[in-house]
Amino acid sequence: MAPVVVAEALTKRFGKLTAVEDLSFSLEPGTITGFLGPNGAGKTTTLRMLLGLARPTTGRALVFDRQYAQLDGPARRVGAVLEATDFHPGRSGRNHLLILSRAAGLHDSRVDEVMGLVELTGAAKRRVKGYSLGMRQRLGLAAALLGEPELLILDEPANGLDPEGVRWLRDFLRAYAAEGRTVFVSSHVLAEVAQTVDQVLIINRGRLVVESPLTELTARVGGAVRVRTPRQDDLAATLRAEGLEPTEAADGALLVPGTARERIGDLAFAAGIPVHELATEGASLEEVFLELTADAADAAEADA
């Protein structure tokens, strides 16, 4: 299947400031991608270019193989939440959605459906100025869902949500992607991202740092293979003879960084050493993020 989103050498400059530089990536259908980067990394600018709210200096941002402005019925293809403050405070939540629904040519009944989806039915007639930040986040998501879009683009959607709301959002996004739809979500809540996304896209200073499935990334960066055997000393000697550096965990297992578990299994089998446990232990997403963005920053300073 064709990618849902394609960024081709995206660059955006504001005068002498380069917010995004030569950024390329793609998003496949049915996936949840976490879009990560430090403050000022260029995430929001990238999202705005995808949605036609900012024009690239060079490069292209394509959604369903077209620029956003060229889509027919964009509300039925793409739903987006970039801010949780784009509301008239004197309108009720329901009236806010009715205006958007009618502008998009949708039936009024869809408003009540999405209010139910985001669990705001009980607050539908309340004025938005009385909503908490978490309720405004839900209302923004409801607006994005009006057209039953195939793609959701969300900027910090968990901001202001309580723990129950964060869990609800996680479950909702997983179910949404399971229907073959696509989610592109920018967030600073790395622990939650790690429980939600399939893959991550990390940028720093407007440049791509890494694009990878989450499990592969956490295993590759700072990860290790955990192996347990009744012949620990023999296996450790075998691994060291192959240039590996096993260390002993607190529970007696061996941790072997810098290799794949298949290689450990093959070496143990060749040496006739029984293995009772063999698993990959990845670093946390936070550890990976900090390591990669620090490396990218150091490289940028060296280039300068």
Q: What was the pLDDT predicted at 66?
A: 95
Inform me whether the pLDDT recorded for 59 exceeds 60. yes
Inform me whether the pLDDT recorded for 198 exceeds 80. yes
Q: Higher pLDDT residue, 197 or 280?
A: 197
Q: Give the model's confidence band at 222: pLDDT under 50 very low, under 70 low, under 90 confident, else very high.
A: low
Q: What was the pLDDT predicted at 143?
A: 94
Q: Give the model's confidence band at 221: pLDDT under 50 very low, under 70 low, under 90 confident, else very high.
A: low
Q: What was the pLDDT predicted at 54?
A: 95
Q: What is the mean pLDDT of residues 65-87?
A: 89
The one-letter code for the residue type at 193 is V
Inform me whether the pLDDT recorded for 302 exceeds 60. no
Q: What was the pLDDT predicted at 90?
A: 93
Q: What is the mean pLDDT of residues 4-14?
A: 97
Q: Higher pLDDT residue, 202 or 279?
A: 202
Q: What is the mean pLDDT of residues 194-213?
A: 93
From 143-147, 155-159, 253-257, 280-284, the region with the lowest mean pLDDT? 280-284
Smallest CA-to-CA distance from 79 within 173, 171, 9, 196 is with 173
Inform me whether the pLDDT recorded for 173 exceeds 80. yes
Cβ neighbours of residue 55 closer than 8 Å, sequence gap 6 or more: 49
Q: State percent of the chain over pLDDT 90.
A: 70
Inform me whether the pLDDT recorded for 178 exceeds 90. yes
Rounded Cα–Cα distance for residues 251 and 234 (Å): 18
Q: Give the model's confidence band at 139: pLDDT under 50 very low, under 70 low, under 90 confident, else very high.
A: very high
Q: What is the mean pLDDT of residues 82-90?
A: 80
Inform me whether the pLDDT recorded for 297 exceeds 60. no
For residue 33, the number of C-alpha atoms closer than 13 Å in the C-beta half-sphere is 25
Mean pLDDT score of the chain, rounded to an integer?
Answer: 90
Q: What was the pLDDT predicted at 85?
A: 65
Label each residue of 275-293 as H, E or C: CCEEEEECCCHHHHHHHHH
Q: Higher pLDDT residue, 283 or 208?
A: 208
Q: Give the model's confidence band at 277: pLDDT under 50 very low, under 70 low, under 90 confident, else very high.
A: very high
Inform me whether the pLDDT recorded for 26 exceeds 60. yes
Q: What was the pLDDT predicted at 203?
A: 96
CA distances from 11 to 36, 45, 190, 256 (A): 18, 10, 26, 40
* pTM of structure: 0.80
Q: What was the pLDDT predicted at 298?
A: 56
Domains of the chain listed by start with CATH number = 5-212 (3.40.50.300), 224-281 (3.30.70)
